[in-house]
Amino acid sequence: MQKRIIGKDLTVSAVGLGCMGMSHAYGNQCTPDEAKKLIETAIENGCTFFDTAEVYGEPDCPHHNEEMLGEILKPYRSKIVLATKFGVKFDVSAPTVNKPVIPDSRPEQIRKSVEGSLRRLQTDHIDLYYQHRQDPDVPVEEVAGVMADLIREGKITHWGLSEVNEEIIRRANAVCPVTAIQNRYHMMYRGYEALFPVLEKLQIGFVAFSPLANGLLSGAYSQNSTFSEQGDYRKAMPQFQADSYEKNRALFSLIQKYADEKNATPAQISLAWLICKKNYIVPIPGTRKLGRLTENLGAADVALTAQEIAEIDKALDKMEMSDVFGGAKIVKK
């Protein structure tokens, strides 16, 4: 698979693997055997970029994802880029399906988090360590200072921030150079394109999370799809409500038109649109199914020209769409 450089020097595959869904937010968790098969298949197909977080789990096993990945990735550790995140926990007492997020980036908490992640991931360093959400009580400069210390100590080699705006990026980068932001970005959620100039100026990569709009853009779902498993966030997401499919008909047709032209699938077109837009964008789709995994990784071979990207953007600009999930509520406790 083609590679790209994010930040000044972090080389990753053009499509990464988001591992969250193996443990959190999409219903049934993967067994360790299923996760092993997925991750080994990803590696066989050229994927070198794996994304997790200390909070990807369920209340009975809150660090399920890091623990599982640590074991599976051990033999491949020196050949892959491992990204994880600190700075939030879920409010599991909330009655909603999508659990609110409680930010906590106090330096002493970050120190505890990094030690926990290193232990669970069975590694002596993290390649890319993201602040998962801003903490209104801790200025980003203070967080960046801790990151600089962790880099000096060799516990992490690069750092980034998730769901951030231009001001936060600039302030953080002024203290300790940022390698990547990880923000929500897909055809139904394009507001962060406004960050392209600052990312280019500061040479920061854009890791696109939920690049398939939580799966909707694959075209594999319909008004008859149900999400009844416990903890499946999709049952509350606006884009998966029965009336959304009609509202998104024009979007599905646009994606299908390019899929037909390129002999690709809708998921591949949705991902190729990100990959081909800028050479510092890296989508990290997640899946628990082998066929979908190879399909998604195959998006790196689908070429959309600058003119085709511009045509798609123009069509998206004026298209009516349903609402789409924009993230769990952030609460400070």
- The binding site for ligand NAP (CB under 6 A) comprises 18-21, 26, 51, 132, 162-163, 182, 209-215, 218, 220, 267, 284-289, 292, 295-296
Q: Using alpha carbons, select from 14, 40, 19, 1 the residue that is nearest to residue 286.
A: 19
Q: What single-letter DSSP state applies at residue 26?
A: B
Among residues 49 and 280, whose Cβ is nearest to ligand NAP?
Answer: 49
Among residues 146 and 267, whose Cβ is nearest to ligand NAP?
Answer: 267
- E strands in the chain: 3-6, 10-13, 17-18, 49-51, 81-86, 88-90, 101-103, 128-131, 159-162, 180-184, 205-209, 281-283
Task: Give the nearest distance from C-beta 227 to ligand NAP in angstroms.
Answer: 9
Among residues 7 and 211, whose Cβ is nearest to ligand NAP?
Answer: 211
Is 56 an annotated catalytic residue?
Answer: yes
Query: What is the distance between the alpha carbons of residues 187 and 207, in angstroms, rounded to a whole number?
Result: 15
Task: Give the nearest distance from C-beta 140 to ligand NAP in angstroms.
Answer: 16
Which CA distances in Å does 150 have to 123, 127, 154, 256? 14, 11, 6, 46
For the CA atoms of 110, 115, 120, 122, the dihedral, rounded to the nearest 10 degrees, stands at 130
Among residues 33 and 307, whose Cβ is nearest to ligand NAP?
Answer: 33
Q: Using alpha carbons, select from 297, 192, 306, 316 the residue that is nearest to residue 257.
A: 316
Task: Give the nearest distance from C-beta 51 to ligand NAP in angstroms.
Answer: 4
Stated as kind and residue range, the H or E segment containing 272 is: helix 266-275
User: Of these residues, 26, 56, 130, 192, which one is catalytic?
Assistant: 56
Among residues 213 and 276, whose Cβ is nearest to ligand NAP?
Answer: 213
Contacts of 118 (CB under 8 A, 6+ apart): 124, 125, 126, 155
Task: Give the nearest distance from C-beta 299 to ligand NAP in angstroms.
Answer: 9
At residue 290, φ and ψ (nearest 5 deg) are -60, -45
At residue 180, φ and ψ (nearest 5 deg) are -155, 150
Query: What is the distance between the alpha carbons of residues 56 and 268, in angstroms, rounded to a whole number?
Result: 26
Task: Give the nearest distance from C-beta 162 to ligand NAP in angstroms.
Answer: 4
Residue of closest CB approach to ligand NAP = 18
CA angle 151, 155, 156 (to 5 degrees): 55
Q: Using alpha carbons, select from 75, 57, 74, 78 the residue that is nearest to residue 66.
A: 57
Task: Give the nearest distance from C-beta 38 to ligand NAP in angstroms.
Answer: 9
Two tokens, residue 194 = 């406004």
Task: Give the nearest distance from C-beta 248 to ligand NAP in angstroms.
Answer: 15
Two tokens, residue 293 = 């995994």
Among residues 39 and 284, whose Cβ is nearest to ligand NAP?
Answer: 284
Among residues 56 and 280, whose Cβ is nearest to ligand NAP?
Answer: 56
Catalytic site residues? 56
